[in-house]
Amino acid sequence: MSNVAVVGTQWGDEGKGKIVDWLSERADVVVRFQGGHNAGHTLVIDGEVYKLSLLPSGIVRKGKTSIIGNGVVIDPWALVDEMERLREQGVDLSAENLKIAENAALILPLHGAVDRAREAAASGETKIGTTGRGIGPAYEDKVGRRAIRVCDLACEDTLRERVAALLIHHNAILRGLGQPEVDQDDLVEKLLEIAPKLLPHVDVVWQRLEEARKTDKRVLFEGAQGAMLDVDHGTYPFVTSSNTMAGQAACGSGIGPGQVGFVLGITKAYTTRVGSGPFPTELDDEIGQRLGERGREFGTVTGRQRRCGYFDAVLVRQSCKLGGVSGIALTKLDVLDGLDELKICVGYRIDGEVYDHLPALAKSQAKVEPVYETLQGWSESTYGARSWADLPATAIKYIRRIEELIEAPVALLSTSPERDDTILVQDPFHPQK
């Protein structure tokens, strides 16, 4: 048996929702290990649509244990709202099937206020394109050792002490940004009010994962965003505030790195990006517009329209190497149906020199000109294909060329939002030796 970590290999929005749902049915435990409620998955099960932001995908399936790991930053109010919304959809949520790491850091209302105020004060190229939900400031507090953690909700004395120390820092920032300061007593009361809705789910999740290991249970580690939004390895500073690579699955949940298992990189058959930052293959033409419309490229959480472009093999190869990707799940192939020709980026030209990777320097990233290879498109429909025999020869050629360029095999191929419209090449839970 093998555990599986699911990560994005581009800038997020690769279609992880369907894949993690497909895998969660085969898993015993599903763990969310990083990020906040600035990302999400849309699951469609028996015609019912579930929109998840913080809750792991396993929560909509009976008999699964869902865990929110310590690497996640949790907005208590957003989480409770999401839990109540799913209960209204008939999902069973209990202390038995949903567990929250006691050492996870909280996102407070002041984090969103700071986030939005700083973004509003920024100008031009300094705007990051943040969702304004406080994820960045919450991670800053975690690293700065002033965060309020889930376990603090169980002790009022500790909570008051931690909030007082936190506000010394944040009220100074809010004053400097011309924003109203936060009242200490009011914030503490709000936290004490929400605490009883979360505390029954709080657990020592690293122990639960150790129990899962000893009993040979299959664990699915579910990431958010994508490799190029990783705070270390992404297109810095236009990145998220956490590590999005599979290595974070270990630190963000409380297991050893050897237990992560098969790393499945979710990869869209073209490229999209939300927010600011470099995007070498972006298309500001009819093809880009067509990809956005056919692919329904709008954010699950924010509703923001995504920027669209050709497949960037340089970017995905880099992500696969950095993240130790065992195989990819190629999604949204059907969006490319009907295009006469397709281009794949095979190199970057910067000031006349060709690179086989994306340099770390932001000024170099901004200068990138894509070097393209052109392939023949296909007129036939690939929508709903469930075997290689259902695919046009030119579509198969496109897939094989992607495998060659990114130096990673296709383990799954998705041809529609429906979970059964998936071509399985290699089961990540039963990897071939």
DSSP-derived pairing of the beta strands 410-414 and 422-424: antiparallel
Residue 299: the pLDDT is 65
Rounded CA separation 15/422 (Å): 12
CATH number of 105-198: 1.10.300.10
Task: Using 50 as the pLDDT threshold, list the residues of the chain that sit under it.
Answer: none
Q: Is 41 a catalytic residue?
A: yes
- Helices 184-198/76-88 angle, 10° precision: 40
- Residue ranges, comma separated, of all CATH 3.40.440.10 domains in the chain are 4-102+202-259
85, two tokens: 């919304």
Q: Is 37 a catalytic residue?
A: no
Phi, psi (deg, nearest 5) at residue 309 = -165, 180
For residue 109, the one-letter residue type is: P
CATH code matching the domain that covers 4-102+202-259, chosen among 3.30.450.90, 3.20.10.10, 3.30.2320.50, 3.40.440.10? 3.40.440.10
DSSP-derived pairing of the beta strands 307-309 and 353-355: unpaired
Catalytic choice (28, 37, 41, 230): 41
Q: What is the pLDDT of residues 203-255, one digit of tens each?
A: 999 999 999 999 999 999 999 899 999 999 999 999 999 999 999 999 999 99
57, two tokens: 């995908």
Residue 124: the pLDDT is 65
Q: What is the pLDDT of residues 384-408, one digit of tens each?
A: 999 999 999 999 999 999 999 999 9
Catalytic choice (13, 230, 312, 421): 13
User: If you write DSSP's letter for every residue of 214-280 in order, what string do you get?
Assistant: HTT--EEEE--S-GGG-TTTSSTTSS-SS--STTHHHHTTT--GGGS-EEEEEEESSEEE-SSS--T
In this prediction the pTM is 0.93
- Residue ranges, comma separated, of all CATH 3.90.170.10 domains in the chain are 267-424
**What's the topology of domain 267-424?**
Adenylosuccinate Synthetase; Chain A, domain 3 (3.90.170)
- Residue ranges, comma separated, of all CATH 1.10.300.10 domains in the chain are 105-198
Rounded CA separation 149/105 (Å): 4
CB-count burial class (<10 Å; 0-12, 13-18, 19+) for 361: exposed
